[in-house]
Amino acid sequence: MVGIIGYGAYIPKYRIKMEEIAAVWGEEAQRIKKGLGIEEKAVPGTDEDSATMAVEAGRIALARAEIDSKKIGACYVGSESHPYAVKPTATIVAEALACGNDTMSADFEFACKAGTSAMQCCMGLVKSNMIKYALAIGSDTAQGRPGDALEYSAAAGAGAYIIGNEKGEILAEIEETVSFSSDTPDFWRRQHAEFPQHGGRFTGLPAYFKHVMGAAQALFEKTGTFARDYDYFVFHQPNGKFPREVAKMLGIEEKKLSPGLVCSRIGNTYSGASLIGLARVLDDAKPGEKIFVASFGSGAGSDAFSINVTDNIVERRKEGMTVEEFIAEKEYLTYGQYVKHRRKLKSL
Amino acid sequence: MASEALPLSWRRIPERYCLIGNSCENCKTNFFPTRKICPNCRRRGKLADKTYSGKGKVYSYSLVNVVPQGFELDAPYVLAIIELEEGPRVTAQIVDCGEKDVKIGSLVKMVFRKIKEDGDEGVIHYGFKFGLVK
């Protein structure tokens, strides 16, 4: 048995509304809000980055796991906004979480699914008894070129998961995981380029939908389950529209989708997105319920997980802030302050 | 921009990342940052590492408007003396708040943030700051 023994999310305090960005570029806010399904997005503080958010989410996961952090044998951090091009984020995080020196550490990169890729590796290491516990984190302070469609959605947040294999500790068993990937250039950032580029509508059908549906079908086949067997669905949420369309394709009711859909209130947190969505579901899920998760990373691939919530969740989740508490604690920025926070001026 | 010496910054990682100080096992006094020798017990003292919980309260604070080089983006910020629940007092920024949000006695907890960057291409120094507990 392999599963989650502790989880935590982190969302920075600052928000910017779609109206504020739209006003600068002479766009219609209502049209953008309707088109993207996003009201406002989370913006990091001036002293926050993917490493600091990963540590904050990791500390909550550790408090919930109730384990000695020295027993963590692997620390993997997935992000597309690692603070350094060369020098791992994972060693900063492992050090700050006091994991000790005998920890396998590495950074993962796969656009928005780097965090779930890290989770799959952790599952393998723990399931094969190579290590006792492993920590997988997805954390991003995503950037969008000023004026680009991405600027309305690219947000910041992190999700951390500690994987273990002892039944008495597992709060949610990961029954199965599969991936579906192919070489699809829908979104990229070249070496030394400051902002990513994307294929516009090409990010939809051949990228997001093909891979998420591919992973979903592969998971259903491998586990012998159907969409109706699951109580919650969490999809990668680059906007509010894509996950809803996937849900429609799979015939999923809104009530099974909406608990794990937080992007309308915090934007697209990239590597953090599906992991924060899962944390939001775990904050409320009851023992015995079944959760479906499918991440998506451009380039492109999707990791799907079938997760069964256990009785341990009730006690474990008492520690630390919930996703809803993070979402509720907010302070709005003007576009000018946002430019400073995201260092969008060359002189910053 | 003035950059901090790499070995110095590196040596302070346990202190800055995990609030590791030390404590004298003889007189039970807690220290942060670490002391090389217990000032009370001198040669009879026995110092051992101690990881602080990161919980504390504001002992005093000030709003910093004119900031040192490298802290321009954070300005203005609240700089405080925090009394840790285990006793020692530390100086640190209080994040995500204005002057009006902080009171003497406000409860705070340690958060992990960027302290400073050595320009665009240098090392990033991380460490503890404090956040208000709601």
All domains of chain B, ordered by start, with CATH? 20-51 (no CATH), 53-134 (2.40.50)
Count of structural domains within chain A? 2
pLDDT at A180 over 80: yes
pLDDT at A84: 97
Query: Do A50 and A119 fall into the same domain?
Result: yes
pLDDT digits (tens, 9 = 90+) for B36-64: 999 999 999 999 999 999 999 999 999 99
Q: What domain range is A91 assigned to?
A: 3-170+322-334
Alpha helices in chain A (DSSP H): 18-25, 29-36, 50-65, 89-96, 114-127, 210-223, 241-250, 254-257, 263-266, 273-282, 313-316, 323-328, 335-341
A80 catalytic per annotation: yes
pLDDT digits (tens, 9 = 90+) for A294-345: 999 999 999 999 999 999 999 999 999 999 999 999 999 999 999 999 988 8
Query: Do A204 and A219 fall into the same domain?
Result: yes
Cβ burial of A70 (10 Å; 0-12, 13-18, 19+) is: middle
For the residues of A91-138, what is the DSSP string, one character each?
HHHHHHTT--SS-EEEEE-BTBTHHHHHHHHHHHHHHTTS-SEEEEEE
Write the CATH number for A78.
3.40.47.10
How far apart are the CA of B44 and the nearest CA of chain A, in angstroms? 30
pLDDT at B134 over 90: no
Query: Do A19 and A140 fall into the same domain?
Result: yes
* Mean pLDDT, rounded, of chain A: 96
Query: Do A150 and A207 fall into the same domain?
Result: no
d(CA A70, CA B18): 13
Which residues lie below 8 Å from residue A273, measured CB to CB, with a gap of 6+?
A112, A138, A157, A236, A237, A238, A263, A295
pLDDT digits (tens, 9 = 90+) for A229-272: 999 999 999 999 999 999 999 999 999 999 999 999 999 999 99
CB atoms A95 and B13 under 8 Å: yes
pLDDT at B1 over 60: no
pLDDT digits (tens, 9 = 90+) for B16-38: 999 999 999 999 999 999 999 99
Q: Which residue among B96, B112, B114 places its CB closest to the CB of A96?
A: B112
Residue A7 lies in a domain: yes
Which is the catalytic residue, given A112, A121, A122, A263? A112
Q: A329 touching B, CB under 8 A?
A: yes
pLDDT at B4: 73
Which residues lie below 8 Å from residue A224, measured CB to CB, with a gap of 6+?
none
The pLDDT > 70 percentage for chain A reads: 99
CB contact at 8 A, B41 and B27: yes
Query: Do A112 and A125 fall into the same domain?
Result: yes
How far apart are the CA of B43 and the nearest CA of chain A, in angstroms? 31
Query: Do A140 and A208 fall into the same domain?
Result: no
pLDDT digits (tens, 9 = 90+) for B58-91: 999 999 999 998 899 999 999 999 999 999 999 9
CB atoms B73 and A340 under 8 Å: yes
Q: At what angle do helices A241-250 and A210-223 cross, to 10 degrees?
A: 40
Query: Do A204 and A256 fall into the same domain?
Result: yes
Tokens describing residue A248: 């429609």
Q: Which residue among A48, A95, A331 places its CB closest to the CB of B113?
A: A48
CB atoms B126 and A92 under 8 Å: yes
Q: Which residue among A13, A46, A52 places its CB closest to the CB of B74?
A: A46
Q: Which residue among B51, B74, B126 places its CB closest to the CB of A52?
A: B126
Q: A331 touching B, CB under 8 A?
A: yes
pLDDT at A43 over 80: yes
pLDDT at B45: 95
CB atoms B129 and A47 under 8 Å: yes
Residue A63 lies in a domain: yes
ipTM, two decimals = 0.95
Query: Do A34 and A146 fall into the same domain?
Result: yes
CB atoms A46 and B96 under 8 Å: no
Query: Do A218 and A190 fall into the same domain?
Result: yes
pLDDT at A348: 64
Q: Which of A224-228, B48-52, B117-121 has the lowest mean pLDDT?
A: B117-121
Query: Do A133 and A178 fall into the same domain?
Result: no
pLDDT at B5: 86
Query: Do A114 and A230 fall into the same domain?
Result: no
d(CA A280, CA A255): 14
pLDDT digits (tens, 9 = 90+) for A12-32: 999 999 999 999 999 999 999
Q: Which residues of B touch A328 (CB under 8 A)?
A: none
Residue A343 lies in a domain: no
Which is the catalytic residue, given A99, A236, A289, A341? A236
The backbone torsions φ and ψ at residue B69, rounded to the nearest 5 degrees and listed phi first, read -55, 135
Tokens describing residue A275: 């992991």
CB atoms B124 and A84 under 8 Å: yes
HEC letters along A227-253:
HHHCCEEEECCCCCHHHHHHHHHHCCC
pLDDT grade for B2, boundaries at 50, 70 and 90: low
CB atoms B124 and A49 under 8 Å: yes
CB atoms A13 and B111 under 8 Å: no
pLDDT at A82 over 90: yes
Query: Do A192 and A165 fall into the same domain?
Result: no
Q: Which residue among B13, B51, B113 places its CB closest to the CB of A52?
A: B113
A254 catalytic per annotation: no
pLDDT at A6 over 80: yes
How far apart are the CA of A316 and the nearest CA of chain B, in angstroms? 20
